[in-house]
Structure 1
């Protein structure tokens, strides 16, 4: 490349970069005044369902950080026809990226829950049920609709998860096909 062309190419590159930085500074996200949300989640980080409370605890430009906690009761019927009501507590940290109402949402969580395992008791020769502590680690990538000033709240996401090797399991289990839908109100 000739020296003249190198200089021209360099000037065009610098000019293009300056224009793009100027465009980025003008398109900062709207600051959220409605930082809290209550919502129902079906699937997702809550497992089957969950009633959740979330709050945006940091925001800068288009980036917002959100933390949420929830509660769910799962019904399990065992082979002995016993019914158990078992609590689950979904906890999640997510990052929202976008301006105005539309955001890319990415994050992870932890879902501690109680579960029932059946085992054969060799002394009594009977199947017995045992309630055990278990936990899952959900991941999230999805879309989130939330207005900066509050109101209707909606999100949908792909939420694969890992089940930890506790509760009677010896190895990690990965569940790649799982998703969630949430809707509620931000204020």
Structure 2
């Protein structure tokens, strides 16, 4: 386990406990009138970064259900490739639980993206660079600060990633060292 990953995970957990311990209890859960939002996410379900649109589609008491979709362009790090930017589309469903401004957020998503793959032609001894479809499943456990009447909101969370085999030669994998931070506006 890399010391940098341990430090990042520890920092996220400390921030989550610090913010949640300062939350004040209220007697009535706030009904959200600002159900839509636009935000920038760094890390998290987007992989690197994404611009997202979200909407609270159900609320009852302290429970709110939220769906979001985003878009990102990832740089292709291969110098020989003709494609320099590759798109990614993060989708996520999450449940917000809490009163008024402070919420526990639990969620799951699906992020599809294009990636490059190298094949080797055994007859010509040349490498073939292809653009291929890939995807992963991000999970989320985090904190979300959002006012019921709208305005600035932010969230952060622990977002481990499950990569699944989309094409031949790929295997299931689990990356437990991932987190995300989002800033935006609800309206």
**TM-score by structure 1 length?**
0.82
What is the 5 A alignment of 1:79-90?
Answer: 80=80, 82-90=82-90
User: 2: CA distance between counterparts of 1:55 and 1:99?
Assistant: 18
Q: Deviations over 1:29-77 (max 9, x none)?
A: 1000000000000000001000000000000111000000000011113
Within the alignment, does 1:42 sit opposite 2:42 as a pair? Answer: yes
Q: Distance in 2 between matches of 1:31 and 1:91?
A: 25
Instruction: Measure, in 2, the Cα distance between the counterparts of 1:76 and 1:46.
Output: 16
Aligned residues: 162
Question: Which deviates more, 72-81 or 154-163?
Answer: 72-81
**What residue is the counterpart of 2:186 in the other structure?**
186
Structure 1 residue ranges (4+ consecutive) displaced by more than 2 angstroms after TM superposition = 79-84, 167-170
TM-score between both structures, scaled by the size of structure 2: 0.82
RMSD: 1.4
Q: CA 1:87–1:81 in structure 2 vs 1: closer, same or farther (change >3 Å)?
A: closer
Partner of 1:20: none
Gapped runs of 5+ residues in structure 1? 1-25
Once the two structures are TM-superposed, the CA of residue 79 in structure 1 deviates from its matched residue by: 5.3
- Work out the CA distance in 1 between the residues paired with 2:167 and 2:114: 9
